Amino acid sequence: MKVRAIIKNNITNVRVLAEHPMETGLEINEETGQKNPVKYIQKLTCEYAEKVIFLAHLGPSVSENPYVSFSFKGGKKGDTLLFRWNDNTGDIEKTEAIIN
């Protein structure tokens, strides 16, 4: 995941690019002629101060490498945001970002 978190006027603006293939299971692999297996992010969360401040439920119709943005009040420069996504195959990715 690529994350940018910037605070301005006591509002933290967060942008997330979740790098993931987001396969619908409908596309055909040109080499094998078989459908690509379904693989998509089911849940994306952001935690701040040990509380979930953002939660998104995604599905197979979301495009590859989904982009998400949100804002919240109360962030402080130098604090850490914790991000996690889980996909339908059990894969998990976690990352941290510092608020600038």
Name the DSSP class of 88.
Answer: T
Return the CATH number at 7. Answer: 2.60.40.10
How many beta carbons lie within 10 A of that of residue 86, not counting itself?
16
Q: What is the pLDDT of residue 71?
A: 98
| Cβ proximity of 81 and 14 under 8 Å | yes
From first to last of its 100 residues, the chain has per-residue pLDDT tens of 999 999 999 999 999 999 999 999 999 999 999 999 999 999 999 999 999 999 999 999 999 999 999 999 999 999 999 999 999 999 999 999 999 9
Q: How many domains does the chain have?
A: 1
> Cα dist. 6→9, 37, 74, 78 in Å?
10, 37, 12, 10
**Contact criterion met (CB below 8 Å) for 66 and 20:** yes
pLDDT at residue 7 in the model: 97
Containing structural domain, residue 77: 2-26+35-98
Q: Which residues contact 48 (CB under 8 A, 6 or more apart)?
A: 72, 74, 75, 79, 80, 81, 82
Q: What is the pLDDT of residue 31?
A: 93
